[in-house]
Amino acid sequence: MLPQPDMLWPVAAILTGIILLVWGAGRFIDGAASIARNLRVPPMVIGLTIVSVGTSLPEMVVAAMAALDANRDLGIGNAIGSNIANIGLVLGVTALIMPLTVKSMTLRREMPVLFLVTVFAFMLMSDGELDFIDGVMLLVGLVLMLIWIARIALKDRHDPLVQEFTESIPDQMSMRQSVFWFIAGLLVLMASSRMVVWGAVEVAHALGVSDLVIGLTIVAIGTSLPELVASIVGVLKGEADLAIGNVIGSNMFNLLAVLAMPAMIYPGVFDPQALLRDFPIMLGFTIALFVLSFGLKLGKINRFDGILLVGGFAGYLYLLFLQA
């Protein structure tokens, strides 16, 4: 069924905004990484900080803009929904294209940390609200995680994941070009995120569903596109660790950086369904990834597992449809 006339502009704003959001994030990361290179920051550190943060940048900006519009549920739904989409949709589709094998010791260290970060975020949200102190704690956790990743990179230079992140750093530009793309990407990010937030709120009101559900579905899937593209490209190049690493890194950043945006900008009580329905499902997907990576098949995620992940994600969307 085609969108109603009064929904055409909001839907167009969401689609256009997501395209520009992904493009702007790419230019912003290119500029930031090149500035860091010009300042002689080690490439390994750039790859495991700036480049790895890049795939969660759209979610962060959308959550911040939504919070500035006094809409915390959209940002919270975006963070949780993106994590579910990253595992169920992104890794599921990637495994369908080519089975994945986890070899990197860095990944094997990061997966337990992802689980701990998930539990930490749940504890902060368990009282039904995200306040300013929660936001500060999430950002402290983000800084500690970045320091930890950088230390691993400096100690284990030959780790496959470290090498692949280092190779993904864009070519160096002059400082003037770097600053130009850094600023241009930032401006596009701000403008496109406003488009996405406005369109999402309008669609939610037109359909009579909550901002949380729109954040969990349309916005979350749209802002997970960078992870999907990066993972498919990685697996086609035979870099399975990079494909899985993108998802693990993005999910940790979503819980620490993206959830911190509504907590610090517009703290308060959120939709209880985020805690009662969506967070447990996200935790379930995280446990499934943990089991697949460490457990029964020695770190192999095959096509059958991919079918299960994609099927689980489709079932989650159907549950949201029934409840909405």
Tokens of 179: 């600053």
The end-to-end CA distance of the chain, in Å, is 18
d(CA 21, CA 11): 15
- Write down the pLDDT at residue 171: 66
Q: Buried (b) or exposed (e) across 61-80, using 16+ Cβ within 10 A? A: bbbbbbbbbebbbbbbbbbb
Confidence band (pLDDT; 50, 70, 90) for 51? low
- Write down the pLDDT at residue 1: 45
pLDDT in tens, 249-280: 889 989 999 999 999 999 999 999 999 999 99
- Write down the pLDDT at residue 140: 95
pLDDT in tens, 204-255: 888 888 889 988 988 888 888 777 877 787 777 776 666 777 788 889 989 9
d(CA 47, CA 168): 7
Tokens of 305: 């597992």
d(CA 258, CA 184): 22
58 or 310, greater pLDDT: 310
Tokens of 146: 């970045």
Q: Taking a C-beta distance cutoff of 8 angstroms, is the pair 243, 94 a contact?
A: yes
List the domains of the chain with CATH numbers. Answer: 5-323 (1.20.1420.30)
Given a cut of 80, is residue 296 above it in pLDDT? no
- Widest distance between CA atoms in the chain: 58
Q: Buried (b) or exposed (e) across 163-181, using 16+ Cβ within 10 A? A: bbbbebbbeebeeeebbeb
User: Average pLDDT over the chain, rounded to whole?
Assistant: 83
Handedness of CA 237, 219, 59, 139 (dihedral sign): negative
d(CA 201, CA 104): 41
Of 82-96, 110-124, 165-179, 304-318, least confident by mean pLDDT is 165-179
Given a cut of 50, is residue 60 above it in pLDDT? yes
Q: What is the crossing angle of helices 57-68 and 5-38, to 10°?
A: 120
Confidence band (pLDDT; 50, 70, 90) for 2? very low
User: What are the distances in angstroms from CA 16 to CA 9, 190, 196?
Assistant: 10, 13, 8
- Write down the pLDDT at residue 169: 63
- Residue 236: partners with Cβ closer than 8 Å, 6 or more residues away: 97, 98
Tokens of 23: 């493009």
Q: What is the number of other CB atoms lying within 10 angstroms of the CB of residue 4?
A: 10
DSSP 128: S
Handedness of CA 158, 25, 193, 310 (dihedral sign): negative
Given a cut of 70, is residue 38 above it in pLDDT? yes
Given a cut of 70, is residue 161 above it in pLDDT? no
| Helix (H/G/I), strand (E/B), else coil: 301 | strand
User: What are the distances in angstroms from CA 308 to CA 173, 234, 246?
Assistant: 43, 21, 20
Q: Taking a C-beta distance cutoff of 8 angstroms, is the pair 265, 67 a contact?
A: yes
112 or 298, greater pLDDT: 112
Q: What is the CA radius of gyration of the chain?
A: 19
Given a cut of 70, is residue 288 above it in pLDDT? yes
- Write down the pLDDT at residue 106: 56
Given a cut of 60, is residue 58 above it in pLDDT? yes
Tokens of 1: 């069924």
Confidence band (pLDDT; 50, 70, 90) for 190? confident
161 or 25, greater pLDDT: 25
DSSP 298: S
